[in-house]
Amino acid sequence: MNPRDYTDLLRQLQVKLSTQDLGEYGVIPIEKADNFIDLMVDESTLLKAVHREVVDNRAGEFYYFDLPGPVIAKGANEGQEPAGGWSDTGEITIGKAFEFSCKKLRTHFALTWEAINWNLTGPEFEDFLVRRWTQAMRRDLEILAIQGDTTLTGDQLRSIDDGWLKLIEEAHTGNLAGHTINWVDDDGNPKPVDHTLFQIAYKVFITDPVARMLAGNPVWIANPIVYAELMHYLSDRADALGAAALMGAANLRPDGIEFLNGAKGVPYFPVEAQGGNLVTKMLLGDPSQLWFIVHREFRLEMVRNPKVDAWEWYGHAYVDFIVPFPRAFILVKNIKVGSAS
């Protein structure tokens, strides 16, 4: 959705922020909640590409239906019933349920009298405030969606819920163990980006018929530093591709597959210090197989705090992240992208 389409919504939020006209208990009206959710994720590269499910219940199940067998068989002779009957084609089966349980989020910001009256944005202050607030929420939601891990301590954001990377890696066990590639050398040290990294990941993907079927539009999902490292690696080649990479003119598509968001990538894919190295992870798959569950109810309430001469806003929402088919993704971890020193 183009930001210009949000004019009416922003104007209404302006009024809400100025007059406390939030309805009973500060709940954003249902008819505007979907638009608010669109506004919140619009500038997020990844959240905009994934499957978004807006729900009215904070927990529940999704079921999928399938036609696992053939729907075409040999026809019978004229005037006769099929010899094997009709039960051998077109049987609809109900697949397993995908459970979700939305976690409660909170948000808060405060405006002092000075901020309201002496701000530099002038008459557009309310628009500026709403945009900055929703941009910050988009950033935090994407970090939580990608990096979430409920076992973390001392991290108020990422410990709220398990994110897609953790869910995928935990599911890649048993027969799916090969779907997580540990990119390390024989001594267990992280290896840098090169062309074999993508070849190996693509081979695992292409030889799994289920992964191919589920990923209608596969892409490399990675931090932009992976794209830059591949560009630097290719720039050493003594051919046209090397020259294009050296000039930054190459549109890199390893094994014919594009990077999500091109060279800009997905900035909130984690880059972490490990020993003396910086390491990151990468996914190969269709982002529509990543599910973002968001409850339609948003609450935003304002109180006056005269002790500090400020107005404070408190918001609450409910979200969850699930991966119905972890087999649809190839996860590469321990990719060396630089030095931590």
pLDDT digits (tens, 9 = 90+) for 73-82: 777 788 777 7
Beta bridge partner(s), residue 107: 315
- Give yes or no: residues 144 and 241 share one domain: no
Q: Are strands 330-339 and 191-192 parallel, antiparallel or unpaired?
A: parallel
Instruction: State the distance between the two ends of the chain, measured CA to CA, in whole angstroms.
Output: 42
On whether the CB atoms of residues 278 and 268 are closer than 8 A, the answer is no
- Give yes or no: residues 329 and 302 share one domain: no
- Mean per-residue pLDDT of the chain: 82
- Give yes or no: residues 183 and 34 share one domain: no
How far is it, in rounded angstroms, from Cα 14 to Cα 6?
12
- Give yes or no: residues 128 and 221 share one domain: no
- Give yes or no: residues 178 and 246 share one domain: yes
On whether the CB atoms of residues 316 and 299 are closer than 8 A, the answer is yes
Beta bridge partner(s), residue 318: 104
- Structurally, the chain folds into a number of domains equal to 2
Q: Is this prediction's pTM over 0.95?
A: no
How far is it, in rounded angstroms, from Cα 211 to Cα 330?
9
- Amino acid identity of residue 27, one-letter, is V
How far is it, in rounded angstroms, from Cα 161 to Cα 219?
25
Question: Is a pLDDT exceeding 80 seen at residue 216?
Answer: yes
- Give yes or no: residues 10 and 146 share one domain: yes
On whether the CB atoms of residues 290 and 50 are closer than 8 A, the answer is yes
Domain limits for position 330: 174-290+325-339
Question: Is a pLDDT exceeding 70 seen at residue 279?
Answer: yes
Give 76-81 contacts, CB < 8 A, sequence gap 24+. Answer: none
**Reduced to 3 states, what is the DSSP secondary structure of residue 119?**
coil
- Give yes or no: residues 238 and 271 share one domain: yes
Question: Is a pLDDT exceeding 90 seen at residue 210?
Answer: no
